[in-house]
Amino acid sequence: MLSIISLSIFGILNLFLGFLKSRQVLLPATLLFLLVALVLNSLDWNDQALYFSDMLRVNNLFVNFSAIVLVTSLFVVSLSRSFGGDDEHTHPAEYYAILLFSVAGAMMMIGFENLIMLFVGVEVLSVAMYVLTGTDKRNLRSNEAALKYFLMGSFATGILLFGVAMIYGATGSFKLGGIATYVEVAIRYGSVSPLLYVGLLLLFIGMLFKVSAAPFHFWTPDVYEGAPTIFTAFMSTVVKTAGFAALYKLASVAFGGAYGFWAQTMAIITVLTLLVGNITAAYQSSFKRMMGYSSISHAGYLLLGVVANVSASPSAILFYSLAYSLATVSAFGVLMVVSEKKLYEGGADERYEAFNGLAKTNPLLAFVMTISMLSLAGIPLTAGFWGKFFIFSAAVQANLTSLLVIAVLMSCVGIYYYFRVIISMYLKPSDNNPVIVSNGFKLTLLLTTALTLLLGVFPDLVKNIF
């Protein structure tokens, strides 16, 4: 709980730090603030409590999901040291402050115990992301992405709010406990209000927009492509982790009693998300756009854990979120430095060709990207393998055989487009332009890579905690 309050205060402090003449203090200050929030978050371990008039619950699940969000934010911020060098057009104090506020919003989504708190968390996180997506004001593509993200987010918020109103009309409560009690009693006696079913569907659709599940993914690849890469890394990891924490809580706690109603619909959406994400990613020519569709496919795997709704689901979703976040930060980190060094049609080169011969010009970056791609593809000895294994195990436990077969087949498609990057780095000729990165940048990438390998060899290090 103190972690959310501290992040809000630290965001305001960051704004004041912007008045200092030296901007060099902003990055270390933001990293320090996130580290303090991570420590404060760990203090809530085994200390379950309700706050804000029982609107927010802090328990071990909250601590685990929040830790993933905070650690991911630490890695993303540490990769942003070149950000804000343009005094005229960038405002790093404001951007770092917005980023801290957005992390607080993500944690509200994770710990909500009342639908009003869920709405507040969604809006704090979403509004921050609209702004960050459009930070590259001179880039028409960034402006377009911000507008599309705003329109898509506004549409989703309207649907989500309509769903909340319907559920309140049916149950007379915004609290998860009150809704769960109504659902169990009403289903037992066959007196479920039609408003509940309509509200449930609208609420789930609103959340599925937020996690970019098909067919609600619409402009997600455009937003990923247009946003500055550092913020693409943030939205593809932190937003997705918070979104799935909230979606799982809704499905398992509030509407667990109505599993028979929503499970089939969610299963269809899971299949659609896996097919659209993987097949469309396979024929992309832009690496960044491929990562956009890839994030949709990973939403499909995480949805599989939600649909399973068994005792193993929460730990499987947690491990998958951590493995996906580490690999995604590594991939976007390498893309940032490579695309800056190579230009294409007047802008950063974000195609597969930008990685041609990288193994010769910078073996370290090629190694980091290789481990990242292997983990996202689910290859053994990486964290991604165990992430998929735990999700598939939950599906087996729930007897979701047909869904499991589709997920495994789509994983094979994923191997194709992830290996295209590896082939470009090791088998394509180099243009002989060396890619040089700072020691701090290398350290961050090595940390994310080491964690990916460590969890690939010893998954129980964190699985037992989850």
pLDDT of the residue at 145: 86
What total of structural domains would you count in the chain? 1
**How far apart, in Å, are the Cα atoms of 230 and each of 82, 247, 344, 361, 389?**
10, 25, 19, 23, 29
Between CA 423 and CA 266 the distance in angstroms is 36
Global pTM reads 0.94
Q: Are 440 and 359 in contact (CB under 8 A)?
A: no
Could you list the residue range(s) of the whole structural domain that residue 25 is in?
Answer: 1-464
Q: Please compute Rg for the chain using Cα positions.
A: 21
Please enumerate in sequence order all residues whose Cβ is within 8 A of that of 427, keeping only pairs 6 or more positions apart, or say none.
none
pLDDT of the residue at 462: 79
For residue 93, report the phi and psi dihedrals to the nearest 5 degrees: -60, -45
User: Helices 115-133 & 194-210, crossing angle to 10 degrees?
Assistant: 30
pLDDT of the residue at 138: 76
pLDDT of the residue at 349: 77
pLDDT of the residue at 419: 93
CA 366 to the chain's CA centroid: 24
Between CA 112 and CA 250 the distance in angstroms is 10
Between CA 245 and CA 239 the distance in angstroms is 10
81, containing H or E segment: none
pLDDT of the residue at 90: 66
pLDDT tens for each residue of the chain, 466 residues long? 788 888 888 888 888 887 775 667 888 889 999 999 999 999 988 888 888 888 999 999 999 999 999 999 999 999 887 665 555 556 778 888 999 999 999 999 999 999 999 999 999 999 999 888 888 777 788 888 888 888 888 888 899 999 999 999 999 899 999 999 998 888 888 888 888 899 999 999 999 988 888 888 878 888 888 888 888 898 889 999 999 999 999 999 888 888 888 999 999 999 999 999 999 999 888 898 999 999 999 999 999 999 998 888 999 999 999 999 999 999 999 998 888 777 766 677 778 888 888 888 889 999 999 999 999 999 999 999 999 999 999 999 998 889 999 999 999 999 999 999 999 999 888 776 777 788 888 899 999 999 999 999 988 887 777 7
**Among residues 253, 258, 295, 300, which one has the least CA distance to residue 61?**
253
Between CA 6 and CA 25 the distance in angstroms is 19
pLDDT of the residue at 44: 87
